[in-house]
């Protein structure tokens, strides 16, 4: 099996992008969000317009990131996956600056986990005190996604591996459709239920850790 995992609201308890917008953007960002939810624009246009409304220094964002909590069982899940030689990749419509900041804090590069964890996401740069969003090269998506998770999954898929995705939100729906099994909660769970996507409901990474331990024991018995 091979895991692809969303970050905001999945690994982190809260959506870091939403926290940034709530703290540092003008209220106009909510109108842009409504356009995205309604399907009028893709997440690439949504993020571009929303982050243009943000006024925050790198220091201010770093401080905000330091307060974001994660699923308390994620680190244990990650260590178990590594012990069982199960590949794990993070695919996010958020920002590497945020993701690496949080991972470095919670993992403290434990067993080299941060350096060995592939991350596919968007980037942030500061120019003249303003934030600029950079999207992955070659990631133009027919659905207008900022970071095309389904394309990442297709490109990183290893031969003969069962693809398992973990997510929580609407930006995860195309990744779920590209996977063999999805662990879903919140809005993604509803989407999977309404569109007959093979999935399992989950509330924490403890359940998923138990799943991979059980599946590994079954495969070992059948070997």
pLDDT at 223 over 60: no
Per-residue pLDDT for 177 more than 90?
Answer: yes
Find the mean pLDDT for residues 100-127: 86
Per-residue confidence (pLDDT) for residue 55, from 0 to 100? 93
What is the model's pTM?
A: 0.93
What are the extents of the domains in the chain?
2-222
Of the chain, the percentage scoring pLDDT greater than 90 comes to: 81
pLDDT band at 142 (very low <50, low <70, confident <90, very high): confident
CATH number of 2-222: 3.40.50.1000
Q: b/e for 19-51, b at 16 or more Cβ within 10 A?
A: bbbeebbeeebeebbeebeeeebbbbebbbbbb
* Rounded Cα distance, 63 and 113, in Å: 23
Question: How does pLDDT run across 120-135, given as a tens digit for each residue?
Answer: 999 999 988 789 999 9
Q: pLDDT tens for residues 48-101? A: 999 999 999 999 999 999 999 999 999 999 999 999 999 999 999 999 999 999
- 69: its two tokens: 């909590």
Is residue 111 predicted with pLDDT exceeding 80?
Answer: no
């Amino acid at each position: 099996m091979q895991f692809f995992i969303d970050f905001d609201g999945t690994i982190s308890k809260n959506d870091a992008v939403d926290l940034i917008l709530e703290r540092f953007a003008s209220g106009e960002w909510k109108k842009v969000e409504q356009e995205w939810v309604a399907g009028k624009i893709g997440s690439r246009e949504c993020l571009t317009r929303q982050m243009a409304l943000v006024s925050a220094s790198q220091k201010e964002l770093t401080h905000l990131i330091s307060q974001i909590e994660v699923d308390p069982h994620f680190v244990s899940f990650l260590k178990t996956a590594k012990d069982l030689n199960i590949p794990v990749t993070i695919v996010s419509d958020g920002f590497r600056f945020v993701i690496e900041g949080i991972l470095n804090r919670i993992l403290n590069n434990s067993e080299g986990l941060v350096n060995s964890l592939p991350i596919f996401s968007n980037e942030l740069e500061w120019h003249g005190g303003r934030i600029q969003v950079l999207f992955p090269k070659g990631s133009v998506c027919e659905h207008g996604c900022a970071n095309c998770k389904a394309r990442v999954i297709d490109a990183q898929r290893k031969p003969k591996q069962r693809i398992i995705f973990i997510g929580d939100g609407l930006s995860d729906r195309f990744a779920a459709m590209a996977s063999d099994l999805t662990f879903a909660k919140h809005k993604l769970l509803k989407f999977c239920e309404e569109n007959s996507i093979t999935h399992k409901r989950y509330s924490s990474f403890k359940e998923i850790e138990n799943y991979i331990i059980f599946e590994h024991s079954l495969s070992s018995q059948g070997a």
